[in-house]
Amino acid sequence: MKEKILEYIHKDPKLKGALIGISIRSPQTGDLLFEHQADIRMHPASNMKLLTGAAALSVLGEDYTFLTELKTDGEIRGNVLDGNLYLVGKGDPTLLPEVFDGFALELKNQGIETIKGDIIGDDTWYDDMRLSPDLVWTDEQYYYGSQVSALTASPNEDYDTGAIILEITPGEHAGDKPEIKVFPDINYVTIENQAITVNKQVEEELMVEREHATNQISISGKITADSEKQKEVMAVWDASNYAMKLFQNGLEKAGITWRGDIRLGCAPENLHSLLSRNSMPLSDLLVPFMKQSNNGHAEILVKEMGKVMYEEGSWEKGLDVVKKQIQRFGLCVDTLVLKDGSGISHSDAIPPNEITKLLYEVQNEAWFPVFLNSLPIAGEGEQMVGGTLNDRLKGYDVKAKTGTIEGVSTLSGYLTTKQGKRLIFSIMVNHLLDEEEGKQVEDEIIEIIVGEYEKTL
């Protein structure tokens, strides 16, 4: 096997000028079966989520939920809430538009038709740093670089926090502007549509961009008349006020009026609780987190760990918790560089041998079945099963976390050969000219590993 892999590495033109690290470990003994540059720190991309997920299961537990509360400093008199209404967010990434509608209906069912005071959103459960310091500035406009807030909202059941969905449908005739639909449609973003429909087939000609520090989205370029509608998920500016806008929309639909302002603020102590909601447990949330490689979930989990352990929901405290937990699994934290929970940072650096060591050690944890179930499964078409491996390595028994940022592609997890031989592996490729080619490299190396093991069984 060693000779075949090394021959591939030295001959494949996709790897010219790139750096590749490979670690293969026995799941029974933890012994290294093969390593190539496996102690060199490499950018993990979303393989970082393996560390974040393991730490979160250890610290928070698989039954952990995120709480959202509605409170007041007043009293209900008749159909009037005589006081302020507080929407207190505590990190729940599963607040969909219909959830905010449900909050409003529950208030209506309690007899509230008018709120005499202000409606105040409390997002102070976490700190006010909305973007990780190492986030590439051009990424903050897209859903995978969205703001991290304790009070946030998601437009879909992928739970893409702090984001909206654009649906772009070509016009009927050449020269027509495409039709743009926004979900949720609450007038939180402004669309500047400069795109046109064309008859000639075009590829990747449509540009969707959000102006920094605004909710002004511009759409330009061309879309072919007979093409399918395109979907773009874009991050909004100010995730907390986005959630408040959804709540306002829900109140309006329920026929509840208010006399004060809608604003952000800190809820005082000793408020009266009107209602509360718990998110799905972490065991269920881990599925969209890992399968869909959700960056927002990763950063929320980091801040939540900091809040639980140190009473400070920050990247600094949360990452300190992550380091302490993975050290418990035997990882050498002195050789790691951890800057966020998602791996979107180009400063994160982890050796492949440390990844496989983690994957070996977590097998002994009571929550390991939850961890394993969250990993994408190769060749499975359903998104919440195959996830980011849904169209890769069909016919192979691979459960693994993918990772992709500019110039980087990674794949780490568990595989079983057709003869039942189980292996733990990590393949990390850095400094690629085309990160999409990195996926081909990983798949081809997996094929070599499985083929060579089959020969020896």
Does residue 2 have an active-site annotation?
A: no
Does residue 324 have an active-site annotation?
A: no
Give the position of tokens 């995730």. Answer: 239
List the one residue out of 315, 294, 250, 356 whose CA is nearest residue 25.
356
**CA-derived radius of gyration, the chain:** 24
Rounded to whole angstroms, the Cα distance separating 386 from 291 reads 7
- Looking at the DSSP assignment, which residues form a beta bridge with residue 396? none
Torsion of CA 262, 263, 268, 271, to 10 degrees: 20
Give the position of tokens 């603020």. Answer: 265
**Both tokens assigned to 249:** 């929309």
- The residue from 46, 154, 240, 283 that is catalytic is 46
Q: Are 90 and 276 in contact (CB under 8 A)?
A: no
- Angle of helix 48-59 relative to helix 315-328, nearest 10 degrees? 90
**CA dihedral (371, 377, 382, 387) positive or negative:** positive
List the one residue out of 304, 332, 333, 331 whose CA is nearest residue 318.
304
- The residue from 154, 240, 283, 293 that is catalytic is 293
Q: How far apart are the first and last CA of the chain?
A: 13
Q: Please provide the size of the chain in residues.
A: 457
Rounded to whole angstroms, the Cα distance separating 205 from 219 reads 11
- The residue from 23, 49, 245, 303 that is catalytic is 49
Rounded to whole angstroms, the Cα distance separating 167 from 182 reads 6
CB atoms within 10 A of CB 386: 19
List the one residue out of 328, 322, 416, 399 whose CA is nearest residue 365.
328
CA distances in angstroms from 160 to 224, 241, 401, listed in the order given: 28, 16, 18
Task: Return the amino acid letter for 449.
Answer: I
For 310, how many CA atoms within 13 A lie in the half-sphere containing its CB?
19
Does residue 181 have an active-site annotation?
A: no
Give the position of tokens 């604003």. Answer: 263
**Both tokens assigned to 174:** 């050449």
Q: Which residues are known catalytic residues?
A: 46, 49, 293
